[in-house]
């Protein structure tokens, strides 16, 4: 793992949150928002616990980061999330004006990272891949257990 402050370091923090989600019987996705090298928001999926379909890791991390900065716009911030964001989260990422999204593994069914860098939604740098194998394994193991 690289030194604190790099993509793998922050993704490892998101993976720790994803493991908390799995321990809580939530889909294991974790996210952190980083501003100037410091984590200012974090979240993990809590849709079951909160009975809220919008309680995705990204949404909770964005809300926490906006509170930390006392600003709805998260310019100069990077979101690290263990799985490619869905359409709802992609919209929130754009509305929050995050500069960059780094995600672990692709989500072939519901992933919308391609929409983050378009004329219609604006331009957010998207970087796939750090610790993708770990994120994928966590998801696969969770669903394997859930299916029995």
Q: What is the pLDDT of residues 79-97, one digit of tens each?
A: 999 999 999 999 999 999 9
Residue numbers of the chain with a pLDDT score lower than 50: 1
Strand ranges inside the chain, DSSP E: 30-35, 38-44, 77-83, 100-105, 117-118, 122-123, 125-128
pLDDT at 110: 77
Conformation bin of residue 73: beta by default, left when phi > 0, alpha when psi is -120 to 50: beta
User: What is the rounded distance in angstroms from the CA atom of residue 41 to the CA atom of residue 101?
Assistant: 14
pLDDT at 1: 43
* Beta pairing, strands 30-35 & 38-44: antiparallel
pLDDT at 99: 93
Show which residues are catalytic: 58
């Amino acid at each position: 793992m690289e030194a604190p402050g790099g993509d793998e370091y922050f993704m490892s923090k998101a993976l720790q949150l994803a493991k908390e989600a799995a321990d809580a019987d939530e889909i294991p996705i974790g996210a952190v928002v980083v501003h100037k090298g410091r984590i200012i928001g974090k979240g993990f999926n809590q849709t079951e616990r909160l009975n809220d379909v919008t309680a995705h890791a990204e949404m909770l991390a964005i809300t926490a980061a906006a509170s930390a900065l006392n600003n709805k716009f998260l310019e100069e911030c990077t979101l690290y999330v263990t799985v490619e964001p869905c359409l709802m989260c992609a919209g929130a990422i754009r509305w929050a004006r995050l500069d960059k999204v780094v995600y672990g593994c692709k989500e072939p069914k519901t992933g919308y990272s391609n929409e983050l860098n378009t004329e219609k939604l604006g331009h957010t740098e998207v970087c796939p891949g750090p610790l993708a194998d770990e994120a994928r394994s966590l998801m696969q193991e969770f669903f394997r257990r859930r299916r029995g």
